[in-house]
Amino acid sequence: MSDFIALLRKDTGSDFGVEFPDFPGCITAGSNLDEAKDMAIEALTLHIEGMLEDGISLPGPSSLETIMADSQNSDTVAFLVHIPFAKEKAVRVNVTFPESILHRIDAKAKERGETRSGFLKDAAVKELEIS
């Protein structure tokens, strides 16, 4: 399990922007604080899933002191985003489904903007009550 620092920015007339210094390019936004927090969890989860699926090593979490020492971060608010599986290696598995079920899984995943793997992982986590 890992916690990563997210940085919250808010410019006048804009949504709340969120970025992750340990994951360049992983950014999101929300129209309010709760939405920004929820979007941050989703964005980082998907980013890490993609890295793990591609066999890319995850960085270790940076310290708050290191992140805030960067002058570009002086106007941000830092908060932690918890990713329970971030240290785990992704493992490819072969599973068998009836074709009609697989089509329904793919349709629901597409509707949610997820991959098949991400959808199945989320369903398993929910069923197993993993947090």
Rounded CA gap, 13 and 45, in Å? 28
CATH of the domain at 82: 3.30.160.250
Give dist(CA 37, CA 80) in Å, integer: 10
Helices 116-128, 33-53: axis angle to 10 degrees equals 110
Question: Among all chains, which residue has been given the structure tokens 């989860």?
Answer: 45
CA distance 22 to 104: 36
Residues 79 and 118 in one domain: no
Indicate if 71 and 107 belong to the same structural domain: no
CATH number at residue 111: 1.10.1220
Asked if 48 and 20 sit in the same domain, the reply is yes
Structural domain span for residue 51 = 2-88
Q: What phi and psi values does residue 81 have, to the nearest 5 degrees?
A: -115, 125
Q: Which residue has the tokens 């992704």?
A: 90
The DSSP symbol for 23 reads S
Write the pLDDT tens digit of every residue in 90-130.
677 889 999 999 999 999 988 988 889 888 988 888 888 76
Same domain for 103 and 84, yes or no, is: no
In this structure, the answer to whether residues 74 and 99 fall within a common structural domain is no
Indicate the pTM of the whole model.
Answer: 0.64
Rounded distance between C-alpha atoms, residue 51 and residue 46, angstroms = 9
Residues 75 and 101 occupy one common structural domain: no
Total count of domains within the chain: 2
Q: What is the pLDDT of residues 46-100, one digit of tens each?
A: 998 888 888 888 888 899 999 999 999 999 999 999 887 655 666 778 899 999 9
